[in-house]
A and B are shown apart, each in its own frame.
Chain A
Amino acid sequence: MKAHMHTSILAGAAVLGAAALAVPQPVAAQSVDFAGKRIEWIIPYGTGGGSNRWARFYVPWLQKALPGNPVVAVKNMPGASSTKGTNFFARRGSKDGLSILGTSGSTQFPFLLGDRRVKYDYADWEVILATPVGGVVYVNSKLGVKSAADMKKLQKVALKFGSQGPTSLDLVPLLAFEILGLNVKPVFGMKGRGPSRLAFERGEVRIDYQTTPAFLKRVMPLVKKGEAVPIMTWGTLDDNGKLVRDPTFPDLPHVGEVYKMMHGKAPRGPAWTAWQAFMAAGFPAQKMIFVKKGTPKHIVAAWRAAAAKAIALPGFEAAKNKALGKYDQAVGKRAQTLKKIATSVPPAAKKWVLDWLKRRYNKVP
């Protein structure tokens, strides 16, 4: 409907230079047709990062799968650790399926940690699709570490880690390093994972992590040149919520396995519970597409059907594996389960992390 108004207003403006008022038409009974419409997809991140790439990757597939093949226009609205664009959607997004939101782990974290800037609630939105992702930790090859089996060697070295800040997604690596007993000191002020990787290439930091797509594209060349050595992943959750190996990197152990290799027993305790909760919030459903609750049921259903259709289109699988890694894109019920995991952490875990942030980094989100 919005697009209808655009055209009529445009014509009116061209002739009169004044507003021509378009009368909203009632939504047709059951069938949904977005033909000629423009869907506005708010991405609360800038054009440089992974969320933007993810959205731009999905645009053509969604356009093909949505009824009527509407134009899907990505709108980048970065700011205030992604709370700005997300707040905007919460306040101004329409409930007609023409306005959707794409969030990432760094949108989930401020929400879970009770950041003051958050004016949105995930309970107000219906999830359409969820994209899992993993994370890979790698070290400088000059450290002499060949794999996770040599981790004990790493414990003795003082390492630096480039980070955006302890309340960002970097909470997951920072806490993991602490649990493993590594001597890692973060250097903040990095403007993203890209600059951290550049600091790694310069030799300024000797341990770093990247999400799966960035690792495959940007770090694998360094591994092949013998400059970087991958040692572990965050792992991923199986259907029972148990931490298992990342399917994209079946040869790399996850953090829990590495702990066991180093200490001879499986990790446990409040720190480990908190880490698992926040890892689950940050990675297995890192990026999600939402429409608002209160959107007519048949429109939500049309969106869900379109998402399912998009990921089944011929050519999607190969393109996805290349761009986003070998993770099954979640739609329907599975997306809803993942949303639940990603947007709720047990109160005890939350409290532990808040205390830890205060104690370790003097940081109150």
Chain B
Amino acid sequence: MLESIVLALGEITSGTHLFYLFGGVVMGLMVGIFPGLGGIVGLSLLLPFLYGMDPTSALAMLIGLVAIIPTSDTFTSVLMGIPGSSASQATVLDGFPLAKKGEAARALGAAFSASLYGGVVGAIVLTFFIVVARPIILLFTSAELFMLTILGLSMVGVLAGNCLPKGLLACGMGLMFGALGGAPATGEFRMSFDIPYLGDGLPLVVIGLAMFAVPEIIDLLRGGGAISRSQSLGKGWIQGLKDMWINKWLCTRCAGIGCMIGALPGLGGSVVDWIAYGHVKQTVKDSSQFGKGDIRGVLAPESANNAKEGGGLIPTLLFAIPGSGSMAVFLGGMELIGLEPGPSMVDGKLNLTYIIIWSLALANVIGAGLCLLISKPVARLTTIKYVYLAPFMIMVICFAAFQATRDLGDLLVLFAVGMLGILFKRFGWPRPAFLIGFVLAGNSETYLYQAVQFYDWGFLLRPGVIIIFVLTALSMWFGARNAPKEEADLGGTAAKTMNMRPQAMFAGLVVLMFAFGLYDGVQHSFLGAVYPVGICVVMLPLAIYLFYVTAANKTDNPANYDYEVEGDHVGRDGVPRLGYYLAWLGGFIAAVILIGFWLAITGFFLIFLRARSDASWLRILILTTAGVGFITALSWIMVLDFPGGLLQHYVKLPWPLS
């Protein structure tokens, strides 16, 4: 082992290796900064370069690319509230409020230093763990993996906000949205209305964008002004570095969590940052500022998600089972250059494995350093008047959403779930709880079914399952003990609404959703039905209870919340109604369906800027050219499609109009 470490160290510090690593990082940064693209696009960009390169240099480039993606997607998460990938959804929760407070540079500084730190800690853990990992990982069977999804779901307790019924219902809705499409055990299509698009289930990227980005864009547009409410950028990234250092033990813990969960094949990386976020909220003394801009809410997921990539190397290298999208890319790349993953990675090829692990750590350092360098100028974006940014943001999220499955359905789901997100935000329903449910729906059902098939119900008595169960109970106990006493805090601050009718209508809608889930469920065979029906049976009474509370206008119930009465925009002049900008978005998507994305976005830029900003035609033209030119160049270079509309269906047009 020691000899391998020395050999590997010699290799990674060589000039050529560093050069290619750096090249990969720069390339990944260019792709990763754009939300929704990430790994797969990165690979297609890199492929032409890989052929004919010697394996170690190609490997270095590949690692550089993979390492930077979970780091660079932090930019849009923090600055715009747009989760760049599923790995940065939790970062949005506190990162974006910090940007709004004018502390974007600090949040980015903290995020990147946490990424760097997490990446390095992950590499140290891996160095020792990988040698003994294989038998340990094989202990995690479907039974233990199922129990881990339960541990993940238990985080809902801390992410639920001050009204637990709403949190549970949000999570239940997430589970139902996740259960849509083919059932794991039987392949029956649930709640899919015979639409092929729905048969595959809803894509996580689209759900993340719809739940987080759409409501924020609408909210910012209505508020007028810029993202940052103060014109300064705060104390900058040095402060962020200090924040990281003060909380280094927290970051170490989260990096450990990220590394371990990332190492388990089949769980998927998307749950790691939520667990880290839940963990920090459970364990700190004062958690009242979480969700409003607590720097620790940025540090925890960011230190975990870079360590996760390191952990993800274990199933990739030892079992050839990639745990995440970027690891699938990495695996594909390894095979292209003729490296075979498998048990030999720790027998004969240990030095190669160490080269990979340490290059990943080094790429993290380089990548986070580069991001830190550019974070201050990029953070200036938050001081631009939002009405100018909005068309770019809408273009970016729609284009990113469309890359999920390249189907117009992606845009329709973005809009429909975006509306749900807006209502969640308005009535104070916790969106993270929904996301947790959604992320874990597929895995929890699949592993439960498989565990019962393999071990019968006796699986509940397996030692691993009991250990994880105890951990879950402990985590819930910590969470309950640590819950902020928000009722007391909120006592006299905001004026509660006296009219709960809108809330009652939404609660009624939730009741109907679960009722539909139940109705749809009972039409399927036992194995296809038991999971959604089980959820609905638990959730329906809760939803009916909430409907009762709101319909009976019990205004002193903690469930009572209406942003349209309590929000800080209330009473200001010139704030349009909630549906106003939603109609713009809807109009744009309708235009895409009619005339295709390229023409629609060009028109949208022109009309929107003319109607909503006071820019001159010249300025509007410049902005439109910049926006449309950028997206055109991007999609040409990366061989991406634009959504086509009815026009393209009937008339054959040249690219990019097609």
Question: Which residues of A come within 8 Å of B, CB atoms?
Answer: 2, 5-6, 9-10, 13-14, 16-19, 21-22, 24, 38, 40, 46-48, 52-53, 56, 59-60, 71, 73-80, 83-84, 117, 160, 165, 167, 185, 187-189, 194-195, 198-199, 201-205, 217-218, 221-222, 225, 362-363
Q: Give me 28 A-to-B residue pairs in the complex whose CB atoms sit less than 8 angstroms apart, sorted by A's number.
A: A2-B655, A5-B655, A6-B655, A17-B628, A19-B598, A19-B656, A40-B639, A47-B39, A71-B48, A73-B44, A73-B639, A75-B639, A76-B40, A77-B406, A80-B199, A83-B196, A84-B405, A117-B196, A117-B199, A185-B453, A187-B449, A188-B185, A195-B265, A195-B321, A198-B319, A202-B138, A205-B454, A222-B343
Interface residue? B497 (CB, 8 A): no
CB distance from A158 to the nearest CB of B (A): 12
Shortest CB distance A56–B (Å): 6
State in angstroms the CA–CA spacing of A198 and B454 once bound together: 14
CB distance from A295 to the nearest CB of B (A): 16
- A84-B196 CB under 8 A given contacts A9-B632, A221-B344: yes
Residues of B within 8 A of A218 (CB): 320, 342
- Consensus secondary structure, chain B interface: helix
Interface-centre pick from B265, B266, B636, B655 (highest chain A CB count, 10 A): B655
Inter-chain contact A38/B185, CB cutoff 8 Å: no
A48 to B138 CA separation, bound complex (whole angstroms): 21
- Contact check, A47 vs B332: say whether CB atoms are below 8 A apart: yes
Closest to A2 in B: B655
The answer to whether A187 and B450 have CB atoms under 8 Å apart is yes
B186 within 8 A of A: yes
Interface size in chain B (residues, C-beta < 8 A): 60
B512 at the interface (CB under 8 A from A): no
Q: Which of B319, B525, B629 lies in contact with A14, CB distance below 8 A?
A: B629
CB atoms of B43 and A221 under 8 A apart: no
Q: Give the complex CA separation of A194 and B47 in angstroms.
A: 24
Residue in A16, A19, A167 whose CB lies within 8 Å of B625: A16
- The answer on a CB contact under 8 Å between A53 and B335 is yes
A301 to chain B, nearest CB (A): 25
Is the C-beta of B607 less than 8 angstroms from some C-beta in chain A? no
Whether the pair A17, B621 counts as a contact (CB closer than 8 A) is: yes
B432-448 CB contact bits vs A (8 Å, 1 = yes)? 00000000000000100
Indicate whether B322 reaches chain A with its CB closer than 8 angstroms: yes
How far does the alpha carbon of A357 sit from the alpha carbon of B266 in the complex, in Å?
Answer: 28
**Are A9 and B655 neighbours in the complex by a CB distance under 8 Å?**
yes
Given A17-B625, A73-B44, A77-B406, A188:B655 Cβ within 8 A:
no
Name the B residues within 8 Å of A22 (CB-CB).
654
* B530 touches A (CB below 8 Å): no
Starting from the known contacts A165-B187, A187-B450, 15 additional A-B residue pairs (CB-CB under 8 Å) come to A9-B632, A9-B656, A10-B633, A13-B625, A24-B654, A56-B332, A59-B47, A77-B406, A80-B199, A167-B187, A189-B449, A195-B265, A198-B321, A203-B141, A222-B343
**Given known A-B contacts A189-B184, A218-B342, A10 and B636 have beta carbons under 8 A apart:** yes
CA distance A84 to B344 in the complex (A): 38
B147 within 8 A of A: no
**B 363-391 contacts with A by CB, 8 A:** none
Cβ A362 vs Cβ B525 within 8 A: yes
Chain B residues in 8 Å Cβ range of A59: 47
CA–CA, A337 and B407, complex, Å? 35
Chain B residues positioned under 8 Å from A80 (CB to CB): 196, 199-200
Bound: A201/B637 CA distance, A: 41
Q: From residue B657, how far is it (CB to closest CB) to chain A in Å? A: 6
Q: Check if A79 sits within 8 Å of B187, measured CB to CB.
A: no
A217 touches B655 (CB 8 A): no
- A-contact bits for B136-180, CB 8 A (1 contact / 0 none): 001011100000000000000000000000000000000000000
- Collect the chain A residues with CB atoms within 8 Å of residue B639's CB: 38, 40, 73, 75
- Measured CA separation A194–B321 after assembly (Å): 7
Complex formed: what's the CA distance from A76 to B449 in Å?
Answer: 30
Give Cα A80 to B192, complex, Å: 12
| Chain A nearest Cβ from B546, distance in angstroms | 33
Bound-state CA distance A84–B203 (Å) is: 15
On whether the beta carbons of B332 and A10 are closer than 8 Å, the reply is: no
* Residues from 334 to 354 in B contacting A, C-beta threshold 8 Å: 335-336, 340, 342-344
Complex Cα distance, B655 from A243, in Å, reads 48
Q: Smallest CB-CB separation from A204: which chain B residue?
A: B454
Q: Is B4 an interface residue (CB 8 A)?
A: no
Docked pose: A205 CA to B40 CA in angstroms: 32
Q: Provide the bound-state CA to CA distance between A217 and B44, in Å.
A: 24
What residues of chain B lie closer than 8 Å to A74, measured between beta carbons? 44
What's the minimum C-beta distance from B625 to chain A, rounded to whole angstroms?
3
Query: B329 near A: Cβ within 8 Å?
Result: yes
Using a CB–CB cutoff of 8 Å, the interface residues on chain B facing chain A are 39-40, 43-44, 47-48, 51, 138, 140-142, 184-187, 196, 199-200, 265-266, 319-322, 325, 328-329, 331-332, 335-336, 340, 342-344, 405-407, 446, 449-450, 453-454, 525, 598, 602, 621, 624-626, 628-629, 632-633, 636, 639, 654-657
Q: Are A48 and B343 in contact (CB under 8 A)?
A: no
Q: Which of A2, A19, A56 has the most CB of B within 10 A?
A: A19
Is A9 touching B654 in the complex (CB atoms < 8 A)? yes
Find chain A residues with CB under 8 A from B342 CB: 217-218, 221
* Interface-central residue, B40, B138, B321, by most chain A CB under 10 Å: B321
Decide: A6 and B40 in contact? CB cutoff 8 A.
Answer: no
With the chains together, A185 CA to B453 CA distance in Å? 9
Residues of B within 8 A of A47 (CB): 39-40, 43, 325, 328-329, 332
Write the chain A residue with the least CB distance to B201.
A79
CB distance from A197 to the nearest CB of B (A): 8
Measured in the bound complex, the distance between the Cα atoms of B329 and A14 in whole Å is 31
A16→B628 CA distance, assembly (Å): 10
Closest CB-CB distance, B43 to chain A, in whole Å?
7
Known A-B contacts A187-B453, A201-B138, A204-B142; the reply to A19 vs B657 at CB < 8 A is: yes
The 4 closest A-B pairs by CB, nearest first: A17-B625, A189-B184, A187-B453, A189-B446
The answer to whether A221 and B449 have CB atoms under 8 Å apart is no
Residues of B within 8 A of A202 (CB): 138, 140-141
The chain B residue sitting closest to A218, CB to CB, is B320
Q: Are A14 and B633 in contact (CB under 8 A)?
A: yes
**Contact yes or no, A17 B624, CB < 8 A:** yes
- Residues of chain B contacted by A199 (CB below 8 angstroms): 142, 450
Residues of B within 8 A of A198 (CB): 265-266, 319, 321
**Cα distance A230–B376 in the bound complex, in angstroms:** 59
Interface centre among A13, A76, A217, by most chain B C-beta atoms within 10 angstroms, is A13
Please report the C-alpha to C-alpha distance between residue A79 and residue B409 in the assembled complex, in whole angstroms.
13
Please give the distance in Å from A200's CB to the nearest CB on chain B: 10
B604 to chain A, nearest CB (A): 13
Q: How far is the CA of A223 from the CA of B406 in the complex (A)?
A: 41
Q: For B527, give the chain A residue with the smallest CB separation.
A: A188
Nearest B residue to A79 via CB reads: B200
Interface contact A13-B629, CB-CB below 8 Å? yes
B149, chain A: closest CB distance, angstroms: 14
